[in-house]
Amino acid sequence: MFGVVKRCWPESNNMPGSPESPPSPSVAGPESDPGDGRLKIYLLPNLFTAANLFCGFLALTRIVEADPSSSHFPDVIKQALFYILLACIFDLLDGRVARMGGFESPFGREFDSLADIVSFGVAPAFLVHRVVLKDVFILHPEIGWFIASLYVICGAFRLARFNCLAAMSGSGGGKYFLGCPIPMAAGMVASLTLFMLWWDAREFRVGSWRYLLPGILVFLSAMMVSEVKYPTFKKVNWRTQHPFVKSLIIVLFVGLLVILWRKILPVFAPVLFAVYLLYGFVRPFISRQLQREIEVDDEPDDDETSDTGK
């Protein structure tokens, strides 16, 4: 009997589960722990991602429930816009928390992309179609459907490209986004819609300005799948002691935004997203020293840096 056992297990004592035995290919890999074969699912960053997805779902429900014939229609749409902008904040926090705590994982990247396509792809496109496109293209509603679906498809294409590039490079991305990131595109759409509602509430004539939003939606669709480089601001060190004047300005600005957000946000948000969008075009024409100062990057520029992004 013992002779049979000896023939089954060689003298090297490399029995399954022993310290010297190599991990099984079925459990070893970037997404698993060789010790127990489980996925790396970190609680805190995935909670922020779940909050992002939850805000996207709430935005969709408010858009569906909004009745254009009701006097409360602008208020309901503003709630949807608020949820989309709140999703942008949660998306920023989940990546920041994951990098600061070393909680980056393939599961988190995939989960984040699934949440992004809902919050920043489907919700903004459905919003613009409900508020603007169906009224602009009354005689040809299929044009509005096409423009809205184009934005969703380009956003999904961008997220798929990000995941592929991140998997090939073996990291979560480099110093730059390749093309406009989908949260910024969604923020641009939501903030412009909010500005139009704010403009209309003051009884200013919207007129032909309404036709700008479909064109901007097409432009953002093209920018998401473009190869224009945008800074990720991943190198920002929040533990650095900033000069007193800069810290004071930041504190005063944040306090002013919190107190007067109802009056400032409809105007400030579109300007902020527009500046980021245009920076990608201006960036190649400014010096690298100025680029590092704007992007808060102390590392020297390197053309070989992986260019990924969502």
What is the pLDDT at residue 102?
A: 80
State the 10-residue block means of pLDDT for the chain, 310 residues long.
44 45 41 57 90 96 90 90 92 85 85 95 93 84 92 95 80 72 93 86 65 89 92 63 65 76 82 91 85 65 47
Cα–Cα distance measured from residue 92 to residue 81, given in angstroms and rounded to the nearest whole number: 17
pLDDT at position 57 is 97
Determine the topology of domain 43-294 in CATH.
Four Helix Bundle (Hemerythrin (Met), subunit A) (1.20.120)
For the entire predicted model, the pTM comes to 0.77
- Position 18 scores a pLDDT of 44
**What per-residue confidence (pLDDT) applies to 69?**
84
Query: Given this model, what pLDDT does residue 63 score?
Result: 94
Ordered by start, the domain boundaries in the chain are 1-37, 43-294
- pLDDT score, position 305: 42
